[in-house]
Structure 1
Amino acid sequence: MSSDFLFATWAGGGAVPPVLSVARALRERGHSVRVLADRSLHEEVAAIGVEPIAWTTAPQGDPADPATDVIRDFEARTPLGEFSRLRDRIVCGPAADYARDTLAELRARPANVLVAEHLLLGALTGGEAAGIPVASLVTTLYPFPTPGGPPPGPGLAPATGMLGHLRDRVLARLVLKPWERGLPALNAARVAHGLAPLGSVIDAFDRVNRLLVLSPRVLDYPGRRFPAHVRHVGPRLDDPAWAGELELPAGDAPLALVGLSSSFMDQHTVLERIAEALGTLPVRGLLTTGPAVDPAAVRAPGNVLVTRAAPHGIALRHAAVTITHAGHGTAVKSLAAGVPLVCMPLGRDQREVARHVEHAGAGITVSKSSSPRTIARAVDRVLHDPSYRREAQRLGVEIAAETATDRAVTELEALAERGAARNLTAQRRGDGDM
């Protein structure tokens, strides 16, 4: 049975391709799908054969353009500053605007299910107010504290012993505390749409029928225990529509794939230091700058091919190592291909992803301010210590098993069927009352 799905997303860089991948999969299954999104994403949405719908009052931006980026977290001096910008400019601050736009679209064209990127609490509020089933998509590791694991964010290793578990309990409270500054704006959005206020922002993330984690369960710590409505449904491995065609550098030396953020994170100098490092090694470098950096502006030695984009999923079939900011998408695609990593986190969730890669034994982390010499040593170590490739290949086998079926689509179709059955029951009761 065909269902109608309304997606809601924002110009969140690497979060966009996995959300659109799910939307495309549902469309290919014969469902009606449309996507509320920033206008800067409409070409990408249309490229997957899905109808884009513009936000009307919610913020609009383009993360590849620092002048129009909504969050501008590259200006923050600390991780807390980065977080505050996200909270105040996307998650909580404009929640009323996202809720208003989402509810207006649902009233104009009803849907069976609302599917929103998990940070859009305003959109989730609109879905709750509309009274339809709601699912949220987490496009990285599960980002909230749980029993059996360290609190996400600081990039901590799993605790051992009594002191370690005490550390986790204390830090979990500290990690959650900054969210509460967003509670007044979030509750104002809820009350404006006839919903009861909440006691915490974290409660709002759980007010969904399903929270689908688009990340490999095998990459997370095995001891973590998740809420009942959370499902790990595996990562999305297809490349975005703008990735283009693959061109490999000449030669037969080991290929080092370089990919930093698809959004602007002031990464130009980091790219040049990576290129300089690869110039000292017997490798071929394929350096993809992404939409935010002009390839012509990156100085590189002769063994490094610099291009704006390439389909990483295909390039990784040829790669021996990936040098990356540890964005979830690039990291997981590398692991799915059995390719080990050198991680250089720039911010956001990247410290956490890098820590999980290291803990799994599939790569190492160096600072984003590392010298070319330090970067070269890290690349050389990963290339010549077979344990990194062995562990990456182990994870690749597990990821292949997790993605053998499209569990995200299965979960969403089941949610639509339950919603349809509930509506039919309500209609029959209404007929009986007449």
Structure 2
Amino acid sequence: MRVLFASTRGSGHFHPLVPLIDACTARGDDVLVVAPPALEALLASRKQSYRIGRDPDPEELAETMARVLAAAPDDGVSLMVEEVFGRLCTAAMLPAMEEACRDWRPDLVLHEAFEFASVVAAERHGIPHARVAISAAGFTGSTDRLLTPVLDPYGPGLVRRLVESPYLTRLPASLDPSPYATTHRYHEELRPQALPDWWGGATEPLVHVTLGTEAGALPAATGLYRAVLDAVSGLPVRVLLTTGHHIDPAALGPLPPHVHAEPWVPQADVLRSASLVVCHGGSGTVYGALAAGVPVVCVPLFADQPANARLVTGSGAGESVTPTGDPEDEASVLGPDDVRNIREAAERALEQPSYRARARALADEVRTTPTAAELLATIEP
């Protein structure tokens, strides 16, 4: 079978496709990935064939992103989905998706949830398509209404057929009820490795601090990392901070002996040993932690992160501290009380057994779902 995978830019959009890409490759399918230029280096490091499409006009994209960042959180989400993903990215990537569907003739298109050019191309060429979740289903479903004005001009009823297509998610049903009639849940099989002993034989609980891969590009990122470290480094724990590739860990200045910083460490390796994750509430981080049975403290910043934080707190598997400062001002990204609130939330999550018990229950639920390979066998056209 020939399977085309489609993603917008950003590792948080691409990585949910990886278990399915690997499962297709392992069973001998022909795989083609089509993505924008920002993912070219990542795709070149993998063994699957790929094609690179176009980016939107830089000036128009920059102007739109400035509006997104200046807007209130809900308005920023709406602008991002409708204008960036729906209008600009779809128009830019459509020629490459059309060419792949016309010339390569895939049997199935699997696209991350906010990549729409492949849906347009698949519909035009009569190719079945399925949507791969990168966020909670409730969050994604709340944005679908925004797509009709920008996508239906490509074909009447296109958004309806997008919503009716199979929806594939790694989040468990008790955490993330789905509004989509055809929802398939699955999990990825991981083989985590032991971490290096960066703490000289210390055995205190390990706290993983991360803001994911995209938040590090924000002007406030360095100040935010320092503030979160201030919150947790005074606890009787070991800390592993991963900064992403936008920030050099050395820029954070001297760190205490029990705090170690790296640009990136495989998430599964960290979660194998972690007792707590303190993060921005990104879907990949939250899903990974809960699938490993690790409680979470969320410090949500933008996009779907507040929605993910609400899922975490509602499930009983963690807590959330919403920043009260200015996200554009490095000196005040966290308000005066935020550091204390993060520290207290981390203490409760480490000390009260109920958080870990609930996280482990969610992990057990995840393990009852099919593997990515088993799921693919059920959605073959």
Q: TM-score, normalised by structure 1?
A: 0.75
Matched with 2:109 is: 114
Q: 2:307 and 2:180 mapped to 1: Cα distance?
A: 20
* Matching residue's letter, 1:105: A
Matched with 1:422 is: none
Matched with 2:130 is: 135
* Aligned residues of 1:96 and 1:185 also touching (Cα < 8 A): no
Matched with 1:387 is: 354
What do the CA deviations read for 1:183-221 (whole angstroms, capped 9, x no partner)? 444233x1xxxx3x24xx85353253x221232223225
* Aligned residues of 1:21 and 1:238 also touching (Cα < 8 A): no
Q: 1:237 and 1:269 mapped to 2: Cα distance?
A: 36
Matched with 2:272 is: 317
* Matching residue's letter, 1:87: E
Matched with 1:288 is: 242
Q: 1:100 and 1:291 mapped to 2: Cα distance?
A: 30
Secondary structure, aligned partner of 2:300: coil
Matched with 1:20 is: 18
Secondary structure, aligned partner of 2:272: coil
1:263 to 211, 214, 221: 214
Does the C-alpha gap of structure 1 residues 366 and 315 become closer, same or farther in structure 2, counting only changes over 3 Å? same
Shift of 1:239: 9.4
Matched with 1:378 is: 345
Instruction: State yes or no: 1:249 paired with 2:199.
Output: yes
Does the C-alpha gap of structure 1 residues 184 and 378 become closer, same or farther in structure 2, counting only changes over 3 Å? closer
Structure whose alpha-carbon radius of gyration is higher: 1
1:52 to 50, 53, 78: 50
Does the C-alpha gap of structure 1 residues 8 and 322 become closer, same or farther in structure 2, counting only changes over 3 Å? same
In the alignment, structure 1 segments of 5+ residues that lack a partner are 62-66, 147-151, 153-174, 419-434
Q: 2:301 and 2:167 mapped to 1: Cα distance?
A: 27
Measured on the aligned residues, the alpha-carbon RMSD in Å equals: 3.0
In the alignment, structure 2 segments of 5+ residues that lack a partner are 324-333
Does the C-alpha gap of structure 1 residues 331 and 258 become closer, same or farther in structure 2, counting only changes over 3 Å? same
* Aligned residues of 1:103 and 1:126 also touching (Cα < 8 A): yes
Which deviates further from its counterpart, 277-286 or 296-305?
Answer: 296-305
Does the C-alpha gap of structure 1 residues 233 and 305 become closer, same or farther in structure 2, counting only changes over 3 Å? same
Matched with 2:151 is: 186
Secondary structure, aligned partner of 2:123: helix
Q: TM-score, normalised by structure 2?
A: 0.85
What do the CA deviations read for 1:138-158 (whole angstroms, capped 9, x no partner)? 122114587xxxxx5xxxxxx
Matched with 1:167 is: none
Shift of 1:276: 1.3
* Matching residue's letter, 1:30: G
* Aligned residues of 2:313 and 2:320 also touching (Cα < 8 A): yes
1:230 to 183, 187, 197: 183
Secondary structure, aligned partner of 2:8: coil
Instruction: State yes or no: 1:345 paired with 2:300.
Output: yes
Q: What number of residue pairs does the alignment pair up?
A: 361
Shift of 1:100: 2.8
Shift of 1:71: 4.6
* Aligned residues of 2:85 and 2:114 also touching (Cα < 8 A): yes
Instruction: State yes or no: 1:123 paired with 2:118.
Output: yes
Secondary structure, aligned partner of 1:10: coil
Secondary structure, aligned partner of 2:348: helix
Q: 1:69 and 1:21 mapped to 2: Cα distance?
A: 35
